[in-house]
Structure formats: C-alpha cells, structure tokens
A and B are shown apart, each in its own frame.
Chain A
C-alpha cells in the first residue's frame, strides 16, 4: 500500500526553528507538496519538490531525498501565526496525490 508518515503534533517556541519530517512509500514519484492548513481554514500551498535538494522560500524551506523517500519542511524565525497543520502530499506514478494526515504545529511564546 501507499503511505505517508508525519508526526502527529510538534511544539516549538516563537523565534525558534522547527523541522517537520515526512517519509513516504508510494508507487512511483512525481513530486512532493507541502500545504499549510490553519484550523477551520483551507489548505494553502507552501512548496513543491521534484528533484533532490533544498528549495528555499523566505522563512520556509523544503528538502527532498528521493532515494530515502524523505522530505522535511523547515520553518525559521517562528511566529505565532505559524501555528497550523502542515500536510505533506506525494504525487505517485499515476499522478494521484497521496496525502499525509498532517502535523499539528503548536507555537508557544
């Protein structure tokens, strides 16, 4: 079967750095997405990786290792507004999006 694993919940301090990991086992790979979802709101697109390496976008960076089936989302200079769920999703060989259950990130002052 296909599977995306993420930690259920993480806690971090305002101003700090946090890394949210995602491991995947899918039939093929055609890209990996990270979405942010605030409670009761729509998921919004954060990043897309299809090649190995780090993609940086402001305070957020996303890393991919296809050989390890692994990605992480790195959030720097954490702000209270970053409290949200972070969803990892992989596009498989049939171009179907396989979603993780999301990581709930709690930011403390």
Chain B
C-alpha cells in the first residue's frame, strides 16, 4: 500500500543532543510537510517542500531544519532540543500545494514522538 512512513516512532534524547527524524513516502506526492503537535493542541506547521522548494513558516525556530534529498524522503533535524520541543512530529504529503481549488487532502505518517530528558 502506498503510504507515509516515519522513523523512529519513538525517540528519546537528552537536552541539547541533536536529533534527526525521517519521513518517506511511496505516493509520489510533490509536497511534504512537517508538523509539530503537542498534547491536546492543534498541529503546528513547521515547514513544507513543494518539490525542492523549501517554505519555512515565519515562527519556526532556527533550531529546526529540514532536508529533502529526493521526492521520496524528507528529514527533520532538531539541532539542540529543549524541553519545550518534546512533542509528536507529523510528516504529511499532498499532491499539490494548498493554493489550489479542491480538497488537496493531506496524507499523514503515524508520527515520531520525541521525549527530551
């Protein structure tokens, strides 16, 4: 089945120790997104790629970086995790950007839950 796969599902790190989360997709979607979701809160968009074009949200801290080496893979790098970065990180894909008419449904991965000690 075509899908979005995130690894690892659970990541424990120490304060300040860099972390990389990965996302792969077999849907051949042009757009890939990274969201941060804390408990009982709305998902917060960190950034997205349209093909190789990177779009950073204005309020995404510099501590968060991303790479998309090819259509299928996208990485989220947290350079120096703080306690406030503990969250679920969700990767999602869509065929086009949202700037289109129609549903443009997002397909999400199962998420990577980050714990910072």
A residues neighboring B (CB under 8 Å): 4, 8, 30-31, 33, 35, 40-45, 48, 87, 91, 94-97, 99-102, 104
Contacts and interface: CB of A to CB of B under 8 A. Distances in A.
Nearest to B44: A99
A43 B90 contact: yes
A14 to B, nearest CB: 24
Interface in B76-117: 90, 97-111, 113
Contacts of A48: 103, 105
Given A42-B111, A91-B98, A31 B42 contact: no
A99 B109 CA distance: 17
Interface string B15-57: 0000000000000000000000000111111000000000000
B40 A42 contact: no
8 contacts: A33-B103, A33-B105, A45-B106, A87-B42, A94-B99, A95-B99, A101-B40, A102-B42
Nearest to A104: B40
B74 interface: no
B98 A95 contact: yes
A42 B97 contact: no
Contacts of B108: 42-44
A35 B43 CA distance: 12
Contacts of B102: 31
Nearest to B40: A101
A42 B45 contact: no
B40 A102 contact: yes
Given A45-B106, A48-B103, A99 B43 contact: yes
